[in-house]
Homo-oligomer: A and B are copies of this chain.
Amino acid sequence: MGDVLREIGTIARALDSISNIEFKQYDLTKGQYLYLVRICEHPGIIQERVAEMLKVDRTTAARAIQKLTANGLIEKRMQTENKKNKQLFPTANGLKIFPIIQRENRHSAEVALTEFTEAEKQQIAEFLTRMRKNVASDWEYVKKGNQRRY
């Protein structure tokens, strides 16, 4: 079933594209909504962890977060116990945009799942979580420079 992955890629690009266009009016440039949402949901998280959750390159996350900081949507806090980790928190402005993103995402989900019964929604959610877990280990493996055998 090679087209399963294709469909996933296509859906992901389409939705990401839509979100990026719709969030431009809030001065959120490409992809930034992803990071802001995760930081709002996990205040105090460090960027390395955000990259891992999103399955995004470390440096890509670093620069996206840099920009969110520059734009005053999140802030980095240093701790006294740990001088290396920088905890991330949404600012008041970031928290103001957060529900807007949630609303948009909710609407996109509704559109995507039009004509799905509750049971079907339940089931696809479960399927996708299983797939994500299956894929996660390969991603880390390859990202660390290892070669898959096949």
Contact = CB atoms under 8 A, between A and B. Distances in A.
Given A7-B128, A134-B114, A142 B18 contact: yes
B103 A150 contact: yes
B14 A107 contact: no
A127 to B, nearest CB: 5
Interface in A128-150: 128-132, 134-136, 138-139, 142-143, 148, 150
Interface in A10-39: 10-18, 21-22, 34
Given A9-B12, A18-B139, A113-B134, 19 more contacts: A1-B122, A2-B106, A3-B129, A5-B105, A7-B129, A7-B132, A8-B8, A9-B34, A10-B55, A11-B131, A14-B132, A14-B138, A107-B148, A108-B138, A111-B138, A112-B131, A114-B134, A115-B130, A123-B123
